[in-house]
Structure 1
Amino acid sequence: MVRSLIFKRSGLIILILLYLFPNIALSFQNHPNDSLSTAYEITLDGTGHYFSDINGFTVSGASGDGIKYSNWLYTPEKNIWFKFVAPTSDTLSISIELSSSGQYGDLIQAVVTDSLGGEMGSKHWVNAANTTTPKELFIDNLQAGVTYYLNVDIPTYTNIFTLRFQNYIDSACIDTYTEYVGIDGQLNVEIDSLIDSSCSSWPCPTGNCTTTVFFPALGSSEFDIGKNYVTIQGIDDNDSIYYGTAIVNLVDTIPPTLVTKNIVRYNSGTHSNYVSPDDLIKYYSPGGTSVPAPNPVPGDGIEVFEYRSAYTKDNVKLGGASISKSSFNCTDVGTNEVTVTIWDTSGNETTGIALVYVIDDTEPVAKAKNITVYLDKDGIAQVNPMWVDNGSTAGCSGSDFVSSLNKSVFDKNDLGQNSITYIIEDSNSKMDTDIININVVDSISPVVFPLSKQIVLDESGNYTLTYDELMNPCENVTIPDPGDWGGGWGWEPDGSTPFFSPPAYSFDGVGCTYDNVEITDTSMSKTDFTTSDLGMNQVIITVIDQSGNTTEAIANINVVSAASCVTELWAIASGNWNDPSIWSATEGGAPLSVIPCNITNVYIKDHNVEINSHIGANKVFIINSDPELSSGLKVISGGLDVVEKIDIQGIGALLEGKPGARVRVLATQGY
């Protein structure tokens, strides 16, 4: 047990030691503290009040007696005992005030017991800040004239304290005074408000009484919301001192001022991002006029800070805060309104809105696979980027990306393996890539439509057939001679030259020869003809493209001698060029049962002739004598080779060629 040193009883030597060694002076007069019998006796005045010297007691050097009471947190470590005789009382307030060195986390435990150790009331307090605010234990079940014991335990940092007893006795001279705390948190209580005007002598027994508030001072920070015991000191004409205690009931009805702030949270992957109330509430920052309040702009990727003078506060004391949503994940990407609620120690609440901008910060990961693609009939393979995707992820959802390839259109120049970059880009413009191989394959064989034609042996009875006469290539397609690498399509899929699409097949199934890539080699089963070949002959044509795809086709060759050709023929009726019954040696003459050949001058007047094979003539004259009628030559398929010229005369005279058909004048190499 420890008995404190009471400074007013100290001698000169003690004062000198206190001055020179303030930290050790209070270690004097430590008393045993292991029994009630050694308790330090406190003498209450006639009104039941007691006020120790400031910092008049210490627990330094004390030990614990091992008894833990009902409202204590721990078994005592440094406790000292006091004893006192209970006054006549309605409520006895015992307050313990730590010295000015009180720290955050200081623990105080107090209990009042009877002489047998029976608990009359106990309490503990933990300092929430570096404060010296008195801690009060209220006892209202004591019997006047009976001795009781006060046990104080302070096991933590601060061990020096001031002790006060305030005795409240209900009296007609005092009323419980209710005061509403103003917005500035200040009290406006006057002492006259606490004492009934008819009791001019209270708390003195009789006569004149000069009154002052002894403890705590009106308007001090030691007042709490709710019931507060205020001790009034009265001095009579004989300078005798008396004490009386009144009650001031403090009421706070003013809600806190709430200032919220908006914040940005970056969310990566599937984890949650947590927000606390303090993240969304702007508090006062000591040493400055404001706290930086983030005011982010979604999508900019930065935070714009705005300095404002307003901050969250209360006229008394803030009690706590909560928010309507504290966890944010992928489903919350974008702007989120969060309700912020703050309350003071009186239970007054204020709500506001703060914005939490959740930005998806997940890094994209590109994963791709090798594929094989095939050129189509036009020689093109266009690859959709998603064909090569192999589980790429981006964004919270994993699918928040667009994909592309650094090359997605392939042609004959890309046959074989191609190293390609697969690219994904998320909504935040973040990118990732993967390298793959795209194998380009051509599996389409050439399309071959050879020409069937009539050839005329020369005077020596010979004729050599050329590839160009039979292959019938489509426009812009070059058919190479055997062993040559041909000119190919003459267009590129990247748009550098116009795209050429081979013409559709004609109505009778005859078209032109082409391939979706390069035609690289050709051959014919027979090229030289003599008098032994007169009549119809079949020639097998073989076409090979650059991928090795091969096609064979048959051309019918009608071999005639030079003697069967005439130098001039007139069309005497409309019909097919190869019909002998429409030709005569003179205009309007009898049929000769021959057809034109490459030495014939052909006259088509007021009739219409069609060609659907490869034929030849020396000259062609198309004449129309009646504007109301028409005459013409229509090349539906195959081709017409004219040695010298084509002459068109008169209104309504026409030369018409269908897609895939060819008309050319050999003298000018014109078409």
Structure 2
Amino acid sequence: NASGTCSAIVTYTAPAGTDNCPGATTTQTAGLGSGSSFPTGSTTETYKVTDASGNTATCSFTVTVTDTENPTITCPSNISSVATSATGATVSYSTPSGTDNCPTVTTTQTAGLASGSTFPIGTTTNSFTATDAAGNAASCSFNVTIEGVAPVINCPANISVNTDANICGAVVSYAATETTGIPVSTITYDLAPGSTFNTGTTTVTATATNAVGSDQCSFTVTVTDNTPPDAQCQNITIGIGANGSVSITSADVDYGSSDNCGIGSMSVSPNSFSCANTGANSVTLTITDVNNNTATCTATVTIEDSQPPVAACLNPTAQLDASGQASVSNADVFDAANSSDNCGAPYPVFVTPNTFDCSNLGANTVTLQIIDLAGNTALCNATVTVVDDTAPTVVCKNTTVTLNSQGQATLQPIEVFDSGSDNCGNVNLESVTPNSFDCSNTGNTTVTLTVNDG
């Protein structure tokens, strides 16, 4: 065929009949003449020769025109659109239609989706083929690209909560939202909802991701410890010291105080006591946690003076009286200047033994007990020296001595002793002076009798 047409100009040598007699004529009885435009397909050409006698003869041949020219088809340009849902977007286009040099051409879609279909996100290739009656074909393609939408994430407002019971933190739940992204995005968090957050401020980052892209936002979670400590007190009894004072610490009255976040400090007031505070005293224990929440409890601190006094003794001398008796008082033995107590001056209670007689002459050990205002006692030992400074009494009698042959005489104490007494019973004759006489002493002589109670 000729280009652009559904036919071809065919030239051939027309047949010419011959006969044994002159006058034969040749005519074309079917087909087209040489130089005509022959349609595609086969055309039969028939010629007949007739002689002068009317005798005839015929011959035929075919002219075949073949269509070798492909149809033409043109596709639209590539199309790009934005998804309107997770399934994609509806796209319409001008459906390609093939043309051909011959009248009959069929156009079919061999790939892709028809115009007006919902195209998925991504690229879809649409292909069309035009085929003519001779089986010649031509194809074209174009792409429909549906682009997704990147997410746009929305974070919740900043969150402020108090600590949960019995823990130093709080379990916090939250949710970011994202409704723009196509396809639907997945939201993730650097700290998952429902996590336990410590006290203070924590920044949480949320990320929305789909096939197109991602988006982030941040918000804060602030956990405040507003739970006061659990203050627990115990009553104590404590003895006052030797210096008359005593101090306590918070640990002395603490009975297991606790706090959900930990105890920062403890203090007790008052914490120092003197003798004036003996007995029951109310104190306050203050517990402060690490976040400056406070709680208090009260305890009774009983101050006891269990410190015994320091006893000092004097060593007195006891003089037996005329009846041979002597005694000492507490004051005689109590050394007030050197005795002491942490809570004031002690005083004596008793001394034992405190009475003496002639059998106790000399050194005697006695014990003094002293007591302080709290009833604490102490002992000390003293030496009481019992002395008899009372002289015995004696009555003399006159006596006569006779000089011997040598003109001498000796006087014995018993000769002038009439009677005697002593507070301790015994009177001992010691001497008489003078006790020797001679002729010069005739007459009366005064003598002195000496006695003792030793």
Using the size of structure 2 for normalisation, the TM-score is 0.46
Q: Which has the larger radius of gyration?
A: 2
Q: Which has the higher contact order (CA 8 A, sep 6+)?
A: 2
TM-score w.r.t. length of structure 1: 0.32
User: Higher strand fraction: Structure 1 or Structure 2?
Assistant: 2
